[in-house]
Amino acid sequence: MKIYRANIIYTPSPKQLEIIEHGYIVVRSNGLIEGVYRELPENMDWRNQVIDFGDRLLIPAFNDLHVHAPQYRNMGLALDLELLPWLNTYTFPEEMKYRDADYARRMYRRFVHELWMQGTMRSAVFGTIHYEATRILADLFLQAGMGAYIGIVGMNRNSPEGLQNTTEEVIEGLKMLKGHLEEHGKSGLVQPIITPRFVPSCSDKMLRALGEFAQETGLPVQSHLSENRSEIDWVKQLEPEATCYGDAYNKYGLFGQTPTLMAHCCYTDGEEMELMRKNGVYVVHCPMSNSNLSSGMAPIRKFLNAGIHVALGTDVSAGHNMSMLRVMQYAIQVSKLNYAQTRGEMPFLTLSEVFYLATKAGGSFFGKVGSFEAGYEFDALLIDDSYLNYDNYSLEQRLERYIYLGDDRDIKRRYCRGEEINEPAC
Ligand code: GUN
Ligand code: FE
């Protein structure tokens, strides 16, 4: 059992910032939270065990539900094109390099180190078509002790020679990765996820086989959906029978039949939106990426009003920064542009809403993660914002200033499932 004392902030619901000044959080030895207290109960023999973090902030760790590990080297580069030419010009050539396991190890070390640095303790990650590189990535997460879903990417059409796999290879790779993680992974912190890149990259045969594999294994699914207008037009040509882009996944069992993440959804509406709601598919909102590739503004307020699950993602390297702080900031700012553009029809996102999306909403994909309620896994960040807190700011204002002005240097400790996570090798 561990007891931490600090200024505790979390969001049990989107509009509810729970703030406990100099409160206590009790964590059991299995990493689960016993409870959060304003005062330690008198009858408990806990007083001598308290780890006192003074005036610092203790918040849930961040969850990045959409990020491309093999695009790490391109982060902050090459953002002068829209999606389809961007993929062909910058992204596919970089991903091809991951056939070289030494290159993969070198870059993936940096990637995992950066997630640690930014306080992202759980992520949903795209690898490449390559089994060995993806296994190396999974091993780096296991060594670090951070949670992740990791996908071998399926792509067998409209992709360059040298960056394609067959349906058999992607299924075989996923089976090997699953076996490897069952053998070496401790209690499922790192898990495989079925990852068709997007409809234009995957033949009907591949989509069907991946859907069947999802059904057999119960493994979750991640992909891209309705990101860019040219992409959507292309999917209409490629899949004339699908009633919408989402239906092209749905008809193969890749749209909520097992837990599913769909990144972007900038143009999702009508039937596609209803299908997402009905099937419990998550929208992963990546506003930094959508700005950089001129993709569009996802109608997040509409999704929230409809009761659709929404999480946040960096989408590096279409997103230029791995910090979930920056993603929260973009989410608010893009929602304000959308608010202006729709003449107030879509009220903008609030600070507590984006904080909820980056913590509890994203965390829900991993189980009871992202909040400090009893029974939740203790994933947390200790924040020293003293240089930002030079006057009488309230705790709510301190959180706001940390989100807008803070960065990784302010994170003093990181916890995942109750364990303190030390800096991984880089
Ligand atoms: N759609 C298909 N592949 C990708 C990718 O790598 N990044 C983004 N943003 N969209 C995609
Ligand atoms: Fe992406």
Query: pLDDT for 191-213, tens place per residue?
Result: 999 999 999 999 999 999 999 99
Question: Which bound ligand lies closest to the C-alpha atom of 158?
Answer: 1
What is 62-366's CATH number?
3.20.20.140
For residue 46, the model assigns a pLDDT of: 72
Report how far Cα 98 is from the mean position of its chain's Cα atoms: 22
Q: Determine contact, residues 290/334, Cβ cutoff 8 Å.
A: yes
- pLDDT of 44 above 80: no
Q: How far is the CA of 92 from the centre of ligand 1 (A)?
A: 10
Q: How far is the CA of 59 from the centre of ligand 1 (A)?
A: 31
Amino acid code (one letter) for 179? G
For residue 215, the model assigns a pLDDT of: 98
Which residues share a beta bridge with 205? none
C-beta of 91 in contact with ligand 1 (< 6 A): yes
Please count the other Cβ atoms lying within 10 Å of the Cβ belonging to residue 99: 15
- pLDDT of 146 above 70: yes
- pLDDT of 410 above 80: yes
For residue 185, the model assigns a pLDDT of: 84
Q: How far is the CA of 289 from the centre of ligand 2 (A)?
A: 8
C-beta of 195 in contact with ligand 1 (< 6 A): no
Q: How far is the CA of 87 from the centre of ligand 1 (A)?
A: 7
Confidence of residue 187 (pLDDT cuts 50, 70, 90): confident
pLDDT tens column, 2-11: 999 999 999 9
For 170-191, what is the mean pLDDT? 95
pLDDT tens column, 101-138: 999 999 999 999 999 999 999 999 999 999 999 999 99
| Cα–Cα distance for residue pair 341/345, rounded to 1 Å | 9
> Would you say how long the chain is, in residues?
426
For residue 43, the model assigns a pLDDT of: 67
C-beta of 198 in contact with ligand 1 (< 6 A): yes
For residue 42, the model assigns a pLDDT of: 76
Question: Which bound ligand lies closest to the C-alpha atom of 87?
Answer: 1
For residue 186, the model assigns a pLDDT of: 72
C-beta of 335 in contact with ligand 1 (< 6 A): no
Which residues share a beta bridge with 125? 67, 150
> What average pLDDT does the structure give for the chain?
97
- pLDDT of 266 above 90: yes
Q: How far is the CA of 51 from the centre of ligand 1 (A)?
A: 44
Question: Which bound ligand lies closest to the C-alpha atom of 294?
Answer: 1
Question: Which bound ligand lies closest to the C-alpha atom of 315?
Answer: 2
For residue 12, the model assigns a pLDDT of: 98
Ligand 1 pocket mutation pick from 195, 198, 226 by most atoms within 8 angstroms of CB: 198
Confidence of residue 302 (pLDDT cuts 50, 70, 90): very high
pLDDT tens column, 215-232: 999 999 999 999 999 999
pLDDT tens column, 322-366: 999 999 999 999 999 999 999 999 999 999 999 999 999 999 999
**By alpha-carbon position, which residue is closest to atom 3 of ligand 1?**
197
C-beta of 289 in contact with ligand 1 (< 6 A): yes
Provide the residue ranges of all domains of the chain, joining segments of one domain with +. Answer: 2-61+370-420, 62-366
DSSP helix/strand/coil, 321: coil
Which residues share a beta bridge with 10? 18
C-beta of 83 in contact with ligand 1 (< 6 A): yes
Q: Does domain 2-61+370-420 have CATH number 3.40.50.2000?
A: no
> Which residues are within 8 A (CB) of 353 and not within 5 positions of it... i.e. 6 or more apart?
14, 15, 304
Q: How far is the CA of 124 from the centre of ligand 2 (A)?
A: 11
Question: Which bound ligand lies closest to the C-alpha atom of 197?
Answer: 1
Which pair of structure tokens corresponds to residue 356?
């909820």
| Cα–Cα distance for residue pair 277/303, rounded to 1 Å | 8
C-beta of 315 in contact with ligand 1 (< 6 A): yes
Q: How far is the CA of 279 from the centre of ligand 2 (A)?
A: 21
Q: How far is the CA of 47 from the centre of ligand 1 (A)?
A: 51
| Cα–Cα distance for residue pair 284/287, rounded to 1 Å | 10
Q: List the end-to-end C-alpha distance of the chain, in Å, as a whole number.
A: 31
